Structure 1
Amino acid sequence: MKTDFTHPQPAVQWDILGAGFQESALLERPGTRGGAPGGWWGGALDVEGLASHSVGLVGQAVAELSAGRCELRSGPSHLAAGFESFRHLKIAGRTVQAFAPLSGFFPTARGWIRTHANYPHHERALLDAMNASGPEQLATAFAQSEAFEAQERIVAAGGIAAAVRSRKQWLDEPQAQPAAAGPWAQFELSAMPETGVWRFHPESRLPLEGLKILDFTRVIAGPTASRTLALLGAQVLRVDGPRIPELPDQHIDTGFAKRSTVLDLATVPGLAAVHELLAQADAVILGYRPGALETLGLSAESLRERYPQLVIAQLCAWGFAGPWASRRGFDSIVQAATGIADAYRTPGGKPGALPVQGLDYAAGYGIAAAVIALLRARTERQRTGTVRFSLARTAQALFDFGRPAAPAVELGTPATARRESGYGMLDYALPPFELNGAQLDYPQAPTRYGTDQPAWA
């Protein structure tokens, strides 16, 4: 069964072009025309609605950019696979593991805590903060601590953790209001000089051919956005620093259709290379914490002033204001803090999690849609701008969807493909899109991490 998520029924409008002009159907629940998409994962919250909504935004944005020439569609099975691509990935026959042993829920003397220790430096910070040398000692240390106290100790040490809160507990805390303030996608528009910029070409095979995007993101949400834009024809170059490499499996999963380079932005040559890339780029996606790039002159404000033609997308965990704005966070940690883990508790009382990394993927597809919409604004109205997303605001959006839709939908087997790569044979789920009736596939396998030249092809 195919469900057209391209032209949903208008409900709440997403004003991306400023006063007097609204993209009339870009923030709606896809599938409301012709029936709701239904549920397939199950659980306390309508993750399916959030998923179909965010994927539908990409189709809507592409249709409007191309004046209806490009139609993206997605059925439930492909859409679901787009939100759990990591589970479908095999690298040289090996199934990948989403979480490291020390990433998970731990009971404390008062309440539960969720940790994230997938990256080695975060694991070290976690163990150091709790004076532990391994899993058993860590569990003992948590059993002798309170969840909120342990949370702050870990954060102070540079680690990542969150005490599990109920929804009411989260909403009563000072960081909750700024984290959930404003619309899901927060746009700021500005006029730009009438200079030559990228435009959609009707004769192109893919709608974003010729577009240049610089990708400063990690893990899932931002890389999913850039992977989606690359799928649609954009040339995407991901830039990482030399000190904290991306996890190999994570890079492979989100690295399809993109190139990868490593630059030391703390050096004069590295920073100069980035500015050479930015001078020719159409868009940049920033996934670092607010303030992290300011000392390098790469904040959104600095980029806007130096490169007025640039479309800028920003992503963070906890929002761009409030006491937690600069705090580290991942999807699972935001779930724990905002009440999602509490909503998914097991019958035995242990906190649970969404069936997929729904906050990450929804934000990723939302960013891709927002970038495309801003590109249209740039070519049609000589206005460019910045869009901001956060995982905490995405959690708010998920709660706004409420309970899962009915009736339930039985998922079929998603389409998969095999491809040789520098990492061996890759088995992977195809993207969740058909373009004008043809199933899309990534044009190339992920390149070896950091091995591409810092230059536009």
Structure 2
Amino acid sequence: MPAPQQRWWGGALDAEALARDAVQRVRDAARAVAAARDLEVEIETSPALIAASFAAIDHLRIDGRPAQPWGGLSGFVAARDGWVRLHGNYPHHAAVLRAVLDVEDRAGLERAIARWDAADVEERVVAAGGIAAAVRDEAQWRAHPHARATAQEPWAGLVDRGERGMLPPAVPGAAGRRTVPGESSAGDSSAGDPSAGGDAELLAGVRVLDLTRVIAGPTCTQLLACLGAEVLRLGPPHRPELLDQHLSTGMGVRSALLDLRREEARARLRRLAAEADVILTGYRPGALDRHGLGPADLEELAPHSVLGVLSAWGTHGPWGGRAGFDSIVQAATGIAVRCGSEERPGALPVQALDHATGHLLAAHVLDALARGRAVTVRASLLGAARTLLALPAPSGEVAALPVPLRQVASGAGTLEVVPPPLTVGGRTLERDVGADGAERARWHG
């Protein structure tokens, strides 16, 4: 009988196994890219790096202050017949909660929801464009129409669209920038040296168009940026990313604003997509389709690209077009009940669905680049939840691990961060964080 794996967080579910497997897949795929580019470099991971990176926002410090990831209206609220989980971190989602429930603050929210059934709260909030989920146990979720419709979907499904061409061998001296243009590196004096750890960076010359936000997609693209890719993240000017969220997932990423309500912006995005090696989307299914930039459009614009499509609930079934977050998927699928007590539901110790899915997506991207294939990968947080719930019950003692912290520069001040969970040539991969939306929407390389 195999010995129990080390536990870092504890809890009723084996989130450690989910995290370990996803990051090891990234490590193996990164090794394949190194081999394809004739780079002789050691690529590793460690339990300390994995554990800390999955709790990156908890460890983040901005000029000494901790991050503030949760809005005042987010969290579990007791309904008349159970519990509901709300997500109001973003201003537009908080505004929906206030309008639908006719409340101004948390106390009013709790009084209002106590008069409703949880399913009614879920239905009314979602119909108005907000984010909510009734807390269900596993049996209730398995009986749900969306659970039945998606039961056979893999965590990440891949369609091979043909050959895209192999990456050229890495050119000595062609390492990507270690810092954001115009900013100096902080912390380790060698962190800004492009030659440190090898003659060239793993993904030098690879262009990644990042149409994601929150945690899962940016976890993927931050890792690709820290491996040397040019990552250009585009966001809507009228709905900016939360500052602390951006600082937690923006290392090495160039960020620009593009208003897709304007035709000239849509035309620019089409040009950028046509020139990208990798395109990643993470908005609610259908959100980009109305601009002519859905997955099928992007496949046509960039037939040579590796396309990653990320969603909360998958793209089929009655909830296939619904927005969602890690905490909301936990609540709906039974994870919150498994992590809670008789008195109230609970949550995983980290947002493991987000981070694991982001790393799994990165693994598929790296594998496709290494093999020279144009693929479309569809991954969902629901698939991560289903995978986690199917794992055997965990065993073993919980042991605290050291937290590998680094200092980097940002427009918001000096950051204390956890680097991505890989080392290349024995070095961690931290980079500076540029200001959200400060770049121009164009390729540098």
Q: Same fold (TM over 0.5)?
A: yes
Distance 1:331 1:193, change over 3 A: closer
Q: Aligned-pair distance for 1:69?
A: 3.5
Unaligned runs of 5+ residues in structure 1 are: 1-31
Are the equivalent residues in 2 in contact too, given 1:39–1:408 (CA < 8 A)? yes
Q: Do residues 146 (structure 1) and 117 (structure 2) align?
A: yes
Indicate the residue corresponding to 1:315 in structure 2.
310
- Of residues 426, 441, 444 in structure 2, which corresponds to 1:454? 441
> SS at the partner of 1:424?
coil
Residue 403 (structure 1) aligns with: 393
Equivalent-residue separation in structure 2 for 1:341 and 1:354 (angstroms): 8
The partner residue of 2:324 within 318, 325, 329 is 329
Residue in structure 2 matched with residue 259 of structure 1 by the alignment: 254
Alignment of 1:248-287 (within 5 A): 248-287=243-282
- CA contact under 8 A between 2:10 and 2:398: conserved in structure 1? no
- Structure 1 position 215 matched with structure 2 position 210: yes
In the alignment, is residue 355 of structure 1 matched against residue 349 of structure 2? Answer: yes
Comparing 219-228 with 408-417, greater Cα deviation is found at 408-417
State the partner residue of 2:429: 441
1:391 correspondence with 2:381:
yes
Which residue of 35, 42, 63 maps to 2:10? 42
Tell me the CA shift for residue 198 of structure 1.
3.8
**What is the rounded CA distance, in whole Å, between the counterparts of 1:98 and 1:268 in structure 2?**
34
Q: Retained in 1: the 8 A contact 2:81–2:118?
A: yes
State TM-score, norm by structure 2: 0.90
With over 3 angstroms needed to count, the CA separation of the structure-2 counterparts of 1:272 and 1:184, relative to structure 1, is same
TM-superposed CA distance for 1:300, in Å, is 1.2
Aligned equivalents of 1:74 and 1:35: distance in 2? 20
Shift of the 338–211 alpha-carbon distance from structure 1 to 2, 3 Å rule, reads same
SS state at 2:409 partner: strand
Percent sequence identity is 41
Separation of aligned partners in 1, 2:30 and 2:164: 24
Report if aligned partners of 1:62, 1:71 keep a CA contact under 8 Å in 2. Answer: no
Q: Assess if the C-alpha contact under 8 Å between 1:222 and 1:285 holds in 2.
A: yes
**Match for 1:293: what amino acid?**
L
- 8 A contact 1:59–1:71 mirrored in 2: no
2:195 maps to: none
Which residue number in structure 1 is paired with residue 413 of structure 2? 424
Relative CO higher for 1 or 2, CA cutoff 8 Å, sep ≥ 6? 2
- Residue 192 of structure 1: how far off its partner (Å): 4.1
Q: Unpaired segments of 5 or more residues in structure 2?
A: 173-198
Q: Cα offset for 1:306?
A: 2.4
Q: Distance in 2 between matches of 1:395 and 1:362?
A: 10
How many angstroms apart in 1 are the aligned matches of 2:78 and 2:169? 53
Aligned to 1:178: 149
CA gap of 1:266–1:198, structure 2 versus 1, over 3 A, is: farther
Q: Deviations over 1:224-263 (max 9, x none)?
A: 0000111111110000011111111101110111110001
Q: Amino acid of the residue matched to residue 441 of structure 2?
A: P
Query: In structure 1, what is the equivalent of residue 241 of structure 2?
Result: 246
Separation in 1, partners of 2:409, 2:277: 30
Mapping of residues 19-58 of structure 1, within 5 Å: 37-58=5-26
Quick check: 100-109 or 59-68, which moved more? 59-68
Q: For residues 164 and 233 of structure 2, what CA distance do their matches in structure 1 show?
A: 27
1:176 Cα offset (Å): 0.5
Answer yes or no: is 1:342 the counterpart of 2:331. no
Change (3 A) 1:70 1:339: farther
8 Å contact 1:188–1:386 — kept in the other structure? yes
Decide whether aligned partners of structure 1 residues 208 and 37 sit closer, same or farther in structure 2, where only a CA change above 3 A counts.
Answer: farther
Measure, in 2, the Cα distance between the counterparts of 1:108 and 1:200.
59
Calculate the TM-score normalised by the size of structure 1.
0.87
Q: Which residue of 2 is the match for residue 236 of structure 1?
A: 231
3-state DSSP class of the match of 2:308?
A: strand
Kindly tell me: are residues 115 and 441 of structure 1, through their superposed partners in 2, closer, same or farther at Cα, counting changes over 3 Å?
same
Amino acid at match of 1:431: P
Q: Is the 8 A contact 2:8 2:401 kept in 1?
A: no
Q: What's the RMSD between the two structures over aligned residues?
A: 1.8
**Pick from 112, 117, 126: which aligns with 2:88?**
117
Contact 1:313-1:387 at 8 Å conserved across structures = yes
Aligned length: 415
